[in-house]
């Protein structure tokens, strides 16, 4: 038998080509931008910035609608083109979606114009930038206003509330009212220095009433921000008609007041109910 | 600045240990093209890792170990069978004796073949093989004995 000669294997000649290739090999270094720690750091920074931006945006939005929980709208009335007040509401179909786009009350029909003019002369003139109420008028009933059954007004915020979330429709078709049947006056709320409402940053006013003739119930919430006047009282004012909230006069209204401090916390015992029957364009002054 | 490997330059290391590394690769993979890939990868690793070595023995062991690992990785990624005929076609640059030994070794199971190669060709001690392969020295000793028997049976040699 032939003996195994392992030395034959050790005489194995490595091709020169292999050695040349190994000598010319250079380690491939990744460009610095592709190194994992650079990519990771960049991703972390982007993520952190994104989260910060999102948080800031969220906080900003929340600060603009602190009362979103207060008055979730119950229903909304469909809007059609208004021929009675074309210059007053040229974009009536968008009135619920873009309330800030609504023209000022000065552009409304004559009685409303006069009212708006008077408003500017009042000592406590906080503007009412938004209401979710809508109006329906037709050519045949140009002087009729659909009574508002639900509404929400935030005196302080121009941000519209989502009216589309209305869970149901009113059980009674809201009646159409003539201008003479509407309550168009101001509601002025005053809080004396000894009142629990005096130091409040926000007063929520819930208003409910029932229309005598049709039996239609209507209700709404007005968020107000009282301001101190020269008489040392905290005063706030709002006007339903100016904000396209059409409610009948000569009904007994129930006003419920609740005060909140600047942190949005309920001020204990600051609950008050007032019954009132406003008429025409008379100013209703309530001291709480 | 050129990096020194146990007092040798990179080129010196390549020239001095190319045969050891190539032998391990060829013995394990039985294919020159694949062996060349692993051969190159071994030296690229030497360049990229730049490890420090105590002496030349350390360097040699490191290279052989890395070459084996490269072969294992290669086989894991490219599982395929190689016929003996194909394997026999390759070593055109080897002598007849060399081809005979290669042919006999290639018929031995890879684990045994590796130990036989390291022991008889690379002159590794049992303890060094055990360290390189991460096995118990007694296991290596037993495997060497069995490998020898297998080789004897295949080749029919009297003097192993």
Cα A104 to Cα A90: distance, rounded to the nearest angstrom: 12
What pLDDT shows up at residue A169? 39
What pLDDT shows up at residue A102? 45
What pLDDT shows up at residue A51? 96
CA distances to A80, A195, A257 from A270, rounded to whole Å, are 41, 9, 8
Residue for token pair 């210059």: A87
pLDDT tier, B142 (very low <50, low <70, confident <90, very high otherwise): very high
What pLDDT shows up at residue A54? 95
Contact between chains at A19 and B14 (C-beta distance less than 8 A)? yes
Mean pLDDT of B81-95: 51
**Is 80 exceeded by the pLDDT of residue B12?**
yes
Shortest distance, CA B79 to any CA of chain A (angstroms): 24
CB B95 within 8 A of CB A8: yes
Mean pLDDT of B130-146: 89
What pLDDT shows up at residue A262? 83
The answer to which of A126-130, A248-252, B62-66, B149-153 has the lowest mean pLDDT is: A126-130
Domain range annotation of chain A: 30-64, 73-287
**Is 70 exceeded by the pLDDT of residue B96?**
no
> Who wins on pLDDT, B26 or A107?
B26
What pLDDT shows up at residue A45? 96
Contact between chains at B101 and A8 (C-beta distance less than 8 A)? yes
Task: Output the average pLDDT for chain B.
Answer: 79
pLDDT in tens, A193-217: 888 888 888 888 887 777 777 666 6
Q: Domains of chain B by range and CATH?
A: 8-80 (1.10.1740), 94-160 (1.10.10.10)
CA distances to A14, A185, B38, B42, B65 from B70, rounded to whole Å, are 18, 92, 6, 7, 9
Shortest distance, CA B139 to any CA of chain A (angstroms): 22
What pLDDT shows up at residue A173? 61
pLDDT tier, B141 (very low <50, low <70, confident <90, very high otherwise): very high
Nearest residue to B58 via CA among B15, B16, B5:
B5
What pLDDT shows up at residue A122? 45
CB neighbours of B42 closer than 8 A, spacing ≥ 6?
A: B21, B25, B63, B66, B67, B70
Residues of A with CB under 8 A from a CB of B: 1-6, 8-15, 18-19, 21-23, 25-27
B40 neighbourhood in chain A, CB within 8 Å? 18, 21-22, 25
What pLDDT shows up at residue B109? 84
B121 neighbourhood in chain A, CB within 8 Å? 6, 9-10
Residue for token pair 């074309």: A86
Write the residue in A2, A18, A27 that is nearest to B157 by C-beta: A2
Mean pLDDT of B48-58: 84
Shortest distance, CA A58 to any CA of chain B (angstroms): 49
| Percentage of the residues of chain B whose pLDDT score is greater than 90 | 8
Angle between helix B32-49 and helix B56-77 axes, rounded to 10 deg: 130
| ipTM greater than 0.90 | no
Mean pLDDT of B55-61: 86
What pLDDT shows up at residue A114? 43
> What residue ranges of chain A have pLDDT lower than 70?
1-12, 26-30, 64-174, 214-218
What pLDDT shows up at residue A57? 92
């Amino acid at each position: 038998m032939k003996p195994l000669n392992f030395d034959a294997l050790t005489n194995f000649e490595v091709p020169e080509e292999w050695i040349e290739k190994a000598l010319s090999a250079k380690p491939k270094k990744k460009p610095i931008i592709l190194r994992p720690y650079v990519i990771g750091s960049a991703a972390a920074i982007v993520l952190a910035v994104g989260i910060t931006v999102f948080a800031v945006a969220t906080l900003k939005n929340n600060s603009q609608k602190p009362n979103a929980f207060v008055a979730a709208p119950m229903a909304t009335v469909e809007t059609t083109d208004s021929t009675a007040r074309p210059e007053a509401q040229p974009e009536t179909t968008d009135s619920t979606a873009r309330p800030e786009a609504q023209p000022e009350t000065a552009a409304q029909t004559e009685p409303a114009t006069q009212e708006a003019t008077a408003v500017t002369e009042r000592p406590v003139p906080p503007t009412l930038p938004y209401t979710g109420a809508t109006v329906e008028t037709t050519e045949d009933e140009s002087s009729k206003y659909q009574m508002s059954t639900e509404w929400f007004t935030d005196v302080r915020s121009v941000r519209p509330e989502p009216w589309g979330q209305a869970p149901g429709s009113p059980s009674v078709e809201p009646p159409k009212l003539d201008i003479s049947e509407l309550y168009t006056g101001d509601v002025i709320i005053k809080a004396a220095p000894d009142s629990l409402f005096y130091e409040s940053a926000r007063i929520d006013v819930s208003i409910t009433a029932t229309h005598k003739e049709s039996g239609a119930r209507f209700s709404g919430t007005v968020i107000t921000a009282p301001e101190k006047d020269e008489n040392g009282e905290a005063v706030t004012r709002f006007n339903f008609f100016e904000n396209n909230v059409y409610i009948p006069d000569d009904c007994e209204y129930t006003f419920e007041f609740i005060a909140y401090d600047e942190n949005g916390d309920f001020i204990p015992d600051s609950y008050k109910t007032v019954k009132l029957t406003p008429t025409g364009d008379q100013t209703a002054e309530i001291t709480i | 600045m050129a990096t020194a490997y146990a007092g040798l330059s990179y080129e010196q290391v390549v020239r001095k240990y190319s045969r050891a590394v190539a032998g391990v690769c060829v013995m394990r993979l039985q294919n020159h093209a694949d062996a060349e890939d692993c051969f190159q990868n071994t030296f690229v690793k030497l360049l990229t890792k730049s490890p420090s070595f105590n002496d030349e023995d350390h360097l040699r062991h490191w290279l052989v170990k890395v070459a084996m690992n490269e072969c294992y990785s290669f086989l894991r990624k490219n599982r395929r069978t190689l016929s003996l005929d194909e394997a026999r076609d390759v070593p055109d640059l080897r002598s007849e004796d060399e081809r005979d030994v290669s042919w006999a070794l290639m018929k031995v199971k890879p684990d045994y073949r590796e130990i036989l190669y390291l022991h008889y060709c690379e002159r590794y001690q049992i303890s060094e093989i055990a360290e390189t392969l991460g096995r118990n020295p007694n296991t290596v000793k037993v495997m060497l004995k069995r490998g020898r028997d297998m080789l004897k049976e295949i080749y029919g040699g009297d003097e192993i």
